[in-house]
């Protein structure tokens, strides 16, 4: 399943933590028309180079599906940033 929500938390020294809920499904709704236009063009180019476009599309789908559950932490001396993708 593709990721639908990301939670971003920013903690700074002596300040309250900022937590943002980012709805990724809105991004997918905006990206869908762009993908619908570019995918046939990419498929034609791949066929011209004698490559299988279905293998590329399957690999991208697997990569996108695997992004769910990603947890990223970055820490500096005075601030920390946490990102969790659901």
* Stretch 3-18: mean pLDDT: 93
pLDDT digits (tens, 9 = 90+) for 69-78: 999 999 998 9
Q: Hey, which residues does 62 pair with through a beta bridge?
A: none
Instruction: Copy the structure tokens of residue 7.
Output: 């939670």
Taking the domains of the chain in order of start, what are their residue ranges? 5-85
Query: 12-18 contacts: CB < 8 A, separation 24 or more?
Result: 12/78, 12/79, 13/78, 13/79
Containing 45, the helix (H) or strand (E) segment is: helix 24-48
Q: How far apart are CA 49 and CA 47, in angstroms?
A: 5
Q: How far apart are CA 21 and CA 5, in angstroms?
A: 7
What was the pLDDT predicted at 66?
93
Structure pTM? 0.73
Containing 60, the helix (H) or strand (E) segment is: helix 53-66
At 83, give phi and psi (nearest 5°): -130, 125
What was the pLDDT predicted at 84?
96
């Amino acid at each position: 399943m593709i990721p639908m929500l990301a939670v971003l938390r920013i903690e700074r020294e002596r300040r309250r933590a900022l937590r943002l809920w980012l709805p990724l499904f809105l991004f997918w709704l905006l990206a869908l028309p762009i993908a619908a236009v570019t995918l046939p063009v990419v498929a034609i180019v791949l066929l011209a180079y004698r490559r299988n476009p279905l293998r590329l599309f399957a690999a991208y789908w697997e990569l996108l599906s695997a992004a769910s559950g990603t947890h990223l932490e970055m820490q500096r001396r005075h601030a920390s940033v946490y990102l969790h993708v659901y």
